[in-house]
Amino acid sequence: MRTIRLATGLATATVLSVTASGCVTVHGELEVVPAATRSEAAQALKAFTSAYNAADKAYDPALDADRVTGPLGAINQAGLKARHKNHPDGNPDHSPLELTDATYLIPKKAGWPRWFVADTDSNRDQDSGETDSRWLVVFVKSGPGAGWKASYLSVVAPSRLPSFAKDDDGRARPVAADSAALAVAPEDLSTQYTQYLQKGAPDVFAPGSATSGWRETRRTTRRAGFSYQYIDQPLDSGSFGPLGLETDDGGALVFFSSKHFERQTAAKGLRPPLNADAEALLTGEVESTLTKERVSSQLVYVPKKGSTKDGGKVVLLNRLPGLTAAKGS
């Protein structure tokens, strides 16, 4: 799976202006307005891409730290930190990322944070020889004085993207985190996903490589002299909270986060192997145990409650994990 990197502050801001008649009007906190203008969204995408390329070329996390947040930020910053340690002179294979043919899904909402989705085409398909895909980048702004930051990134085939519901002004419709109209409320997805990976229940996810397939892979992983343990934890608050858009069939496309630990324990006389990235992020000394920590972002289609589509289950469209820490003992 491809690995690349939402931050939301919960601060609210109220701007008061006194009209000529002496009435007080509240802007930003109570008024339902588009999260961004299309030109503002385009500028946010351009600024992110430019910063991402500069950071990737130099392997310097400081160069795009103020353009990323949430799961994308955690993955991006840890990855750059590790690669800088291994390649202090920068990325010898740097190829600029290009995100073009952008369509902006900009919901209306009151207060902060505000967010939108940039649906883009990437030159990475050409570089890798893979079939065409769309890169969906979620941008979040925590307050009126804050900048736009990319928090989620998902890569998905155009044929798997649903049609989005639109309001009377033709804008995308956001889904409430506690929506009771869906098979699973967005705020519950991280908990239910991590519980499913641990126990196989609740059985609300459709079969796939990142659901039933991943559980089976972990269950059957075997290597002589080593044992494996897995811990999965929800990651669903602050800048890692879920964000969703309503689809025209009453369902939703939702981005959510999670955290995953893999612990390798070696038999006496053996030592868990370390790759370059894990070694660069390592704390402690690997004697018999190595624990890897990963942050993951998921893009899912959630059907409306009572739907028979896909058996009424949540379909995982894309998962992007990244190593964020390693610990030896």
Where along the chain do its domains lie? 15-328
Measured between alpha carbons, how far apart are the two ends of the chain, in Å? Answer: 28
pLDDT digits (tens, 9 = 90+) for 61-98: 999 999 999 999 999 999 999 999 999 999 999 999 99
> Radius of gyration (Cα) for the chain, nearest Å?
21
pLDDT at site 14 = 26
Burial of 292 (0-12, 13-18, 19+ CB in 10 A): buried
Closest CA to 175 of 115, 119, 235: 115
Q: How far apart are CA 76 and CA 328, in angstroms?
A: 22
Q: How far apart are CA 283 and CA 281, in angstroms?
A: 7
pLDDT at site 295 = 98
Give the angle 40-43-44 at the CA atoms, nearest 5°. 85
- Checking if the pLDDT of 5 tops 70, the result is no
pLDDT digits (tens, 9 = 90+) for 216-253: 999 999 899 999 999 999 999 999 999 999 999 999 99
Q: How far apart are CA 64 and CA 54, in angstroms?
A: 8
Residue 284: which region, alpha, beta or left (left: phi > 0; alpha: psi -120 to 50)? Answer: left
Q: pLDDT-based confidence at 165, cuts 50/70/90? A: very high
pLDDT digits (tens, 9 = 90+) for 169-219: 999 999 999 999 999 999 999 999 999 999 999 999 999 999 999 999 999
| C-beta separation of 260 from 231 below 8 A | yes
Range 309-317 average pLDDT: 95
